[in-house]
Amino acid sequence: MLAVLGLLVFVVLARAFVRGGQIVAFDDNVARWVAHGVPSSIQWVARIFTWLGGAVGTAVVTGSAVVVLWRASRHTDAVFVAGAVIGITVLVAVLKAVYERARPDLGSPIALPHSYSFPSGHAATAVVLNGALGLLAAERARSPLRAAAWIAGSAVLALAIGASRVLLDVHFVSDVVAGFAVGLAWLCCCAIVRELMPAARREGPTTG
């Protein structure tokens, strides 16, 4: 259901971008406000999260997680994390090439990437990577409360990374929401595949 919901949200936003209208106007208004109304101190904090969700930060976190999981003989989980991140990277690149949306041009404190804007790769990857790690941690949590905390923490971090892209004026709001949506759909699909793999059931969660 979450995969279908994410896909539907993405389709709605994609159609809105192609047709123009209220969502595009809202995007423009927010970008204009960010360019002139967001304090530099907030944008400096946003730089930290945008770096964490960028290519280098994602590579470091993903690589570290894969190594730890592999050394712990959790091979299926290591492949799950690596495959999910690589897959969403390719998927976002394809979608950007399809829609070819230009980025906001009202001024940003960081250099604008040369890639297109829709959907946000930072947002999509943040949902997939943090969601995958949060899911693995929640499965092995010793109580439902701790499991919920892992999921909530991963969601908050993903939201912060996505919001940083808007606060730095390198993405429109709908770019980020679309990234969240497509990332959620992809993560759910990867999680379903993982559950169908016999090795995942053998490794299983520990709930001691």
pLDDT reported for residue 207: 44
Q: Output b/e per residue, 158-197; b: 16+ Cβ within 10 A.
A: bbbbbbbbbbbbbbbbbbbbbbbbbbbbbbbbbbeebeee
* 165 within a domain of the structure (yes/no): yes
* 98 within a domain of the structure (yes/no): yes
Domain hosting 6: range is 2-203
Q: How many domains are there within the chain?
A: 1
- Render each residue's pLDDT in the chain as its tens digit; 208 residues: 888 999 899 899 988 888 877 888 898 899 888 888 888 889 899 999 999 999 999 999 999 999 999 999 999 999 999 999 999 999 999 999 999 999 998 877 888 888 899 999 999 999 999 999 999 999 988 889 999 999 999 999 999 999 999 999 999 999 999 999 999 999 999 999 988 876 555 455 554 4
pLDDT reported for residue 204: 53
pLDDT reported for residue 205: 53
* 208 within a domain of the structure (yes/no): no
Q: How many CB atoms lie within 10 A of CB 19?
A: 9
* 169 within a domain of the structure (yes/no): yes
Global pTM? Answer: 0.89
CA pair distance 205, 125, nearest whole angstrom: 24
